[in-house]
Structure 1
Amino acid sequence: MVVFWEQGYEGASLTDLTEAMGIARKSMYAAFGNKEELFRKVLQRYLEGPASYILEALQASTAREVAEEYLSGAVRATTRPGYPSGCLGVQGALAAGATGQVARDTLVEWRATVRAHLRHRFQRAVEEGDLPADADPEHLARYVTTIGNGLTVEAADSGTREDLRRVAVAALRHWPPAED
Structure 2
Amino acid sequence: MTTSKAACVGRPRGFDIDLALEQALNVFWRNGYEGTSLNELTEAMGIKKPSLYAAFGNKEQLFFKAIDLYENRPDSLFNIAFQHEHVADVIRGLLLGAATQFTDCSHPQGCALINSTLSCSEASESIKQTVLARKAKHKQRLVDRFTQAKTSGELQADCEPEVLASLMTTLFQGFSMQASEGASVDELQQVAAMAAEGILTVCVKR
Give the secondary-structure state (helix, strand or coil) at the position aligned to 1:81.
Answer: coil
Residues 92 and 103 of structure 1 are in contact (CA less than 8 Å); yes or no, is this contact kept in structure 2?
Answer: no
**Bigger-Rg structure (1/2):** 2
Query: In structure 1, what residue type is equivalent to 2:61?
Result: E
What is aligned with 1:55?
79
2 CA distance for matches of 1:138 and 1:117? 10
Q: Which has the higher contact order (CA 8 A, sep 6+)?
A: 1
Other structure's SS at 2:139 match: helix
What corresponds to 1:178 in structure 2?
205
Instruction: Pick one of 17, 21, 28 that aligns with 2:52.
Output: 28
* CA–CA distance in structure 2, aligned partners of residues 127 and 77 of structure 1: 30
> 2:104 aligns to what SS in structure 1?
coil
TM-score, normalising length: structure 2: 0.81
1:106 partner SS: helix
Alignment of 1:1-150 (within 5 A): 1-49=25-73, 52-150=76-174
TM-score (norm. length: structure 1): 0.92
What is the CA–CA distance in structure 1 between the aligned matches of 2:98 and 2:68, rounded to whole Å? 16
For these two proteins, the number of residue pairs brought into alignment is: 179
Q: Note closer, same or farther for the CA distance 1:50–1:101 as it changes in structure 2 (3 Å cut).
A: farther
Going by fraction, where is helix more abundant, 1 or 2? 1
Aligned residue among 177, 180, 191 for 1:156? 180
Q: For 1:62 and 1:25, how far apart are their aligned partners in 2?
A: 48
Identity of aligned residues (%): 36
Tell me the distance in 2 between the aligned counterparts of 1:107 and 1:68. 25
Query: Which stretch of structure 1 is more off in the superposition, 35-44 or 98-107?
Result: 98-107
The offset of 1:51, in angstroms, is 6.6
What is the CA–CA distance in structure 2 between the aligned matches of 1:112 and 1:51, rounded to whole Å? 20
Question: SS state of the match for residue 12, structure 1?
Answer: coil
8 Å Cα contact 1:50-1:77 kept in structure 2 = no
Q: Which residue is 2:9 aligned to?
A: none
> What are the ranges of 5 or more consecutive residues in structure 1 without an aligned counterpart?
none
Q: For 1:83, give the aligned amino acid.
A: H
